[in-house]
Chain A
Amino acid sequence: MDKIKKGVRLEHISKIYQDPKTGKDFYAVKDTSLTIEPGSFVTLLGPSGCGKTTTLRMIAGFESPDEGEVYLGEQPINELTPNKRDTAMVFQSYALLPHYNVFDNVAYGLKLRKLSKEEIHRRVMDILALVELDGMESRMTHQLSGGQQQRVALARALVIEPSVLLFDEPLSNLDAKLRVSMRTEIRRIQQEVGITAIYVTHDQSEAMAISDDIIIMNKGVVAQKGTPQEIYYHPNSEFVADFIGEANFLRGTVTAIEGGYALLNVEGNPVKATAQAGIQTNQEYTLVLRPESASLAEAGGLPCKVALSCFMGSYQNYHVMVGDTLVKLTEHNPKNRRIYQVGETCSLAFRPDDVHILL
């Protein structure tokens, strides 16, 4: 594709809906500003009802924002209808035209652009080869498997060479295994074509596997934007920490800051954690500890008592009580490790840079 890549910018976008039961208006998306770089793969991630699909549909033009402006590249596109926008969407239900075969489905957008027959044929065949559906062009869509239908939907969106590709939970109707292979496929194709992609999902592992950037949304606002690593290791709120992966929360008061580390008092015990700018002494903070970052030891960490010990094959699953706080942890490859039993008292150990302090 020799087209100039375009990004997407949202400026103070809001969308108001009416609750069908109470008749009251509420913000489905509230004062959201985002910049999506050209050629990047960005995921909108969040629980259902967080406004991610509404945001996507506003970019596609199916919904009109109540406040703010949507830009495609430098062009404001609020007033453009979906058919005039240089975006293409891949729908959750695939939304293939059931009365057309694969070829005609993919060719639909090209025919509307009044290209020559040869040109259409060449481009459809090229794109079908890209999504590995060569030879299937005369099948009817209902003769295809879910994964194949998804490829047709992708091909149909790609073939019109849009500036931005939009995905609305495209894999949620597939079974777990296919979902994993399709997401790798989508990522491969996006990088091959170098197109800007915005991808909506509620599946955090999908988001992690596929994205350059993840935008986590909650209750209509952006909770955090960052690379998968940033979001996982440095969440900015309990919501984000909990939504991405599993998280344990400990409360502690900072007693001192020295050498880039903060010393905290957690349930009467000292804990050392990497300090970030802005942390103050004598303040209480929440600490995030990932289950795989901690381990159990005889002594040397936070004293705790085992409440659950469960063999899961590749790892041992523990629930321990640190004072009144429940901490879940997983110890991988438990074969040659000491297994702690329920009721034992021991010690919860982790490295200072494995705990993250929430500001």
Chain B
Amino acid sequence: MAKSQSAALDRKKLMADPVMVTTIVVLITFLTLFILYPLAILLVDSFYGDGGFTLDVFKRVLGMITFRTAITNTLKVGFLVGILSTFIGLLFAYVEVYVKVGRGVGGLFKMVSMLPVVSPPFVLSLSMIMLFGKAGLITRFLLGIYDNSVYGFWGIVIVQTLTFFPVCYMMLKGLLKNIDPSLEEAARDMGAGRFKVFASVTLPLMLPGLGNAFLVTFIESIADFANPMIIGGSYDTLATTIYLQITGAYDKVGAAAMAVVLLSITLLMFAVQKYYLETKTAATLTGKASRGRMLIADKSVTIPLKSMCALAAAFVILMYICVPIGALFPTWGYKFTPLTFKWFNLVFTRYHGFEAFRDSFLLSLVSAPVTALLSMIISYLVVKKRFRAKGFIEAVSMLAMAVPGTVLGVGYIRGYSGGIFHSGFLQGIYGTALILIIVFVVRSLPTGTRSGISALRQIDKSIEESAYDMGADSFRVFMTVTLPLIKDSFLSGLVTAFVRSITAISAIILLVTPQFLLITVQINEFAEKGSYSVACAFATILILITYGSVLLMNLFIKHFGTSKQIKEAA
């Protein structure tokens, strides 16, 4: 059987739609140039030398004890963070879905799940140092311990766990909600106790989902740059080692090889997560819960679970509060009163705070709409259209999810500092605002695309077909039907992209040139120097900006978003 005619016809129909064709071509070019190519150049760099294929670079890099240690360090941290985050995430998710809680507690959960979105990556590291470090508020002034060190393995683990567990919580919450309560009721009915039900029904059903959550945080932990940078001390992970290899040892080729190693690890895990665990999760938990669940009100269960959650939540909140308060103390660790705004003053008068906020703000402001629109277009093409390059577009935009920022940063340095394939072509964009914006876009694209895809999947295909049938071309269909129906997803994508961009550091720190002052880079610098008060002042303003944007978004969605009835109708 030959499907050649329909393929040819589909192609002809596609070609009759110039806007579509242009969009696809532009997209493919963009993805190839700014995601595939930077990764490819890393491979070229590390395998090609002295006119031929060589393993020398790898031999040299793997010969470094520091690098080998960094690999084991990274894996150790990632493993533990994955387990701890999954566990705490499960605890929160279980309490929310299964246990009767008051309204205030519900709000607390929402806040905890919001925190990682609005907080810059190193906020927790900063507060960890200020609370538990040598001059820590708790260790020194409350407990009288003078030589506590938070730098190193445990510092990273604690901070990363607190940073990433909300991701697990959100993932697992969705899964638990999809478990049909009648399964557990049936087990209860047959005589199983509450714990037995959890162990023999709920947990096995959740297992692939737990594995999924574990791997996602594992990858996040491995890719994390900011926290190990600030709180790692001499405990180097892959991301920081690569950064130091470039900024300290000026060994760009070595860094490229290291980046290849880091990328291989994350890609491997991503592949397992995406193609094995995700399908398995979907297979075990397909059903929608048919009706409400009988919530557990038994005090012997609720009190211990709730107190554990409360403890964790209180700790997280304490850590976040510490940052703005830390910025108000005259001298951290020595003089706590009277509270003062002098650090905020200094940020703007001496430390170019205004320029930093302006640059970060403007660059993010430009990249956010580009990202949001691009991710909606990609989702539209992936979900609603059929064409041959679709698989490529989908795969590459998902691939970006598995690429650590540091790897991408090294890829851009190698790929663009000397032009494409060191030929000088496109060299002009290196060191400009354009490449920073592109990095912002590429870094936020996967999140936006994922949310766009899930939003679009919920819209009946025939709604767009009907518009198409009545004479609209693809562009019109997208503008008049698709976009209005996924307005919410678009708006939240807009803000998420903005927040992600303004708080980004891992890739950007490798590419930023002195002419641009970015807030995150400033915070990192001051934290490195030990000027925690200034770092805190910067971070506080940044949190206010991001929090403000999220509030604005929610307000916006409420007033201009797609109404509930329309969503249900779609």
Contacts and interface: CB of A to CB of B under 8 A. Distances in A.
Task: Note whether A and B form a binding pair.
Answer: yes
Interface stretch (B281-289, B468-476, B525-533): B468-476
Contacts of B462: 91-93, 95
Interface stretch (A105-113, A215-223, A239-247, A281-289): A105-113
A82 interface: yes
A81 B473 CA distance: 9
A65 B16 contact: no
Given A108-B480, A112-B476, 12 more contacts: A16-B3, A62-B465, A62-B469, A66-B5, A67-B5, A78-B9, A81-B468, A89-B465, A93-B462, A97-B463, A99-B485, A113-B471
- What are the 5 A-B residue pairs with the smallest beta carbon separation, nearest first? A109-B470, A64-B9, A95-B466, A95-B462, A98-B569
A221 B472 CA distance: 32
Contacts, number: 115
B569 A82 contact: no
Interface string B234-263: 000000000000000000000000000000
B300 interface: no
Contacts of B480: 97, 108
Contacts of B1: 16, 25, 27, 66
Contacts of B562: 99
Given A95-B463, A99-B484, A88 B5 contact: no
B337 interface: no
Contacts of B470: 83, 88, 108-109, 112, 156-157, 160
Nearest to B570: A98
Interface string A165-205: 00000000000000000000000000000000000000000
B205 interface: no
B463 A141 contact: no
Nearest to A78: B9
Nearest to A108: B470
B469 A65 contact: no
A106 B12 CA distance: 30
A64 B473 CA distance: 17
A97 B468 CA distance: 12
Contacts of B472: 83, 108, 112
A98 B485 contact: yes
Given A95-B462, A98-B570, A89 B5 contact: no
Contacts of A84: 16, 471
B569 A141 contact: yes
Main secondary structure of the interface of B (DSSP, over half): helix
13 contacts: A25-B1, A63-B6, A64-B5, A66-B5, A82-B465, A83-B471, A89-B469, A91-B465, A91-B466, A99-B484, A108-B472, A112-B471, A142-B569
A142 B568 contact: yes
Interface string B8-26: 0110110011000000000
B393 to A, nearest CB: 21
Residue from the set B4, B13, B568 with the largest chain A CB neighbour count within 10 Å: B13
A64 B2 contact: no
Contacts of A78: 9
B481 interface: yes
B414 to A, nearest CB: 41
Given A108-B470, A142-B569, A64 B6 contact: yes
B20 to A, nearest CB: 10
B2 A66 contact: yes
Interface residues of A, number: 41
Contacts of B2: 16, 66
Interface string B530-570: 00000000000000000000000000000000100111111
A68 B153 CA distance: 68
Interface in A39-93: 60-67, 78-84, 87-89, 91-93
A84 B484 CA distance: 24
B101 interface: no
B460 interface: yes
Contacts of A64: 5-7, 9-10, 13
B296 interface: no
Given A65-B6, A112-B472, A142-B566, A81 B481 contact: no
A120 to B, nearest CB: 13
B1 to A, nearest CB: 5
B517 interface: no
A16 B10 CA distance: 14
A160 B463 contact: no
A139 to B, nearest CB: 12
A358 interface: no
B473 A97 contact: no
A167 to B, nearest CB: 12
Contacts of B473: 81, 83
A91 B463 CA distance: 9
A290 interface: no
A84 B465 CA distance: 13
A27 B469 CA distance: 25
Contacts of B313: none
Given A15-B6, A66-B3, A95-B465, A79 B12 contact: yes
Nearest to B481: A97
A267 B415 CA distance: 87
Interface in B457-501: 460, 462-463, 465-473, 476, 480-481, 484-485
B13 to A, nearest CB: 5
Contacts of A160: 470-471
Nearest to B6: A64
Contacts of B4: 66
